[in-house]
Amino acid sequence: MGLPVSTTYRHFRALAKAGLIDPFRGGRYILGPAAIQLDWLIRRTDPLLRASQPAMKFLAGAIDLPAVIYLARFYRNQVLCIDQASVGKPTFAPDLQRGRLLPLARGAASKCMLAMLPDRTKKALQARNVKEFAKANLGRDWADVRTSLAEIREAGYAVSYGEIEKDVIAIAAPILVADSAPIGCIAYVVANGKANKAEIEQMARMLKSAAAQITATLEL
């Protein structure tokens, strides 16, 4: 941890007292029961989670294909899945669950939120993550990245093909707050080859509608 041993012990004692870590066999520590309690509190009180439940139910009932629906938000220059639901019995994306961290620039969720950020924020992120943005086919320099993200911003959604999980299509729409900044996004994931262009566009329209519904609920 790069800290003096005495400081590390002090931190561990404080975390253990709070129940956030627990001693385990062999001098090891694991996450403590307070982490489970905090997760329960988050599920009950997080405004985005609460506002998204009706929209996720609508999306689940509006698709005939096996699918995963997930909700995500930015977290420490990555994208964090904060909720998910399955439609039918999808055999793909088994690890796309609450708590899963996704890359900053790869995948529909990341791209649709990046596209809605102010240019100065996008430019700073691209400068710090040049290889990541290039790997995500957004561009090798700021001019190309700006053009790629402008196209997504204009469409109001992003589509990715196998960028995080193989053989899947992800479609995501950003959830915006009053100043048009993205607070999160909502997405469909379906098996590649199971949806044609028209169906993907229909899913995108449903996601944009769901995102607007979530925004309206948050602003009440």
**Residue 211 or residue 27, greater confidence:** 211
DSSP string of 84-139, one letter each residue: EEEES---S-TT--TT-EE-SSSSHHHHHHHHTS-HHHHHHHHHH-HHHHHHTTS-
103: Cα separation from own chain's centroid: 9
Say what the pLDDT of residue 77 is: 79
Bridge pairing between strands 67-75 and 168-176: unpaired
Beta-bridge partner residues of 121: none
Say what the pLDDT of residue 97 is: 92
Beta-bridge partner residues of 81: 72
Say what the pLDDT of residue 68 is: 96
Say what the pLDDT of residue 73 is: 94
Q: What are the start-end ranges of the H helices in the chain?
A: 5-17, 33-45, 47-61, 108-115, 119-128, 130-135, 142-155, 197-218
Bridge pairing between strands 182-191 and 168-176: antiparallel
Range 81-96 average pLDDT: 92
Task: Please compute, for residue 45, the number of CA atoms within 13 A of its CA located in the half-sphere on the CB side.
Answer: 6
The residue among 76, 144, 140, 70 whose CA lies nearest residue 107 is 70
Joined together, the tokens standing for residue 8 give 């590390």
What is the maximal distance between C-alpha atoms in the chain? 62
Residue 179 has pLDDT above 80, yes or no: no
What percent of the chain is predicted at pLDDT more than 90?
83
Say what the pLDDT of residue 95 is: 86
C-alpha torsion sign, points 18, 44, 220, 76: positive
Residue 66 gets the label, from left (phi > 0), alpha (psi -120 to 50) or beta, of beta
Residue 7 has pLDDT above 80, yes or no: yes
Residue-range domain boundaries for the chain: 5-37, 46-218
Burial 139-163 (b: 16+ CB within 10 A, else e): beebeebeebbeebbeebbbbbeeb
- In CATH, the architecture of 46-218 is 2-Layer Sandwich (3.30)
The H or E element spanning position 168 is strand 168-176
pTM beyond 0.85: the answer is yes
